[in-house]
Amino acid sequence: MAMTLVLTLSLVFIPGTVQRVRANNFVEAATEIHRNYLDGNLPLQCRSRSPEVVTDWFAGKTPFHFQLPISQSVPEGKALYWLTGARLVSYKGNAAALVAYETPTEKISLLVASSKSVAVAGGEELPSDGLTFHYRSGANFEVITWTNHGLAYALVASVTGSPQHSCLVCHQNMANRNLVEH
């Protein structure tokens, strides 16, 4: 009887534990890649402020289709964040996309990998527009992870503020900006 209870509890709790460990691995990898980028150990391979140019640069370089959102133009001097470029990195032995953004004082990175090799879970959960974002803060960085259309994302920044504020990195010029701000 006791063995049956232990087996049942293991089957219930182990998958959740494994998922949390895999999710923590993705967050740790994204944070380490971000640190290496900040330290100059991962220079950008594509330098551009154009989402179209960066998207085209990744074509055929990753095992997944990746496309940056095309934003509406912003009046000069009104942008909070600027796309600066991209590079290929490795996550679990597979090519992954690293997209870089900047503010006047900060560098921000977005790690994108196939969700087949990534678990996204844990942290403070923030549902928005049909997606669930997982927000973590610690080790001098804020990390937001989510999945969408077969891809897993980890946005890493030292920017402080609300978790929703970090989402404006990609969505500051988008028509759905008001969903992110609220």
pTM for the complete prediction? 0.79
DSSP labels for 74-128? --TT--S-EEEEEEEEEETTEEEEEEEEE-SS-EEEEEEEEGGG-----SEEEEE
What mean pLDDT is predicted for residues 113-127? Answer: 87
Structure token pair of residue 13 = 């709790």
Tens of pLDDT, residue by residue over 4-28, are 655 455 545 555 555 555 567 899 9
C-alpha to C-alpha distance for 26 and 12, rounded to whole angstroms: 23
More confident: 174 or 88: 88
pLDDT tens-digit readout, 44-87: 999 999 999 999 999 999 999 989 987 655 555 566 788 999 99
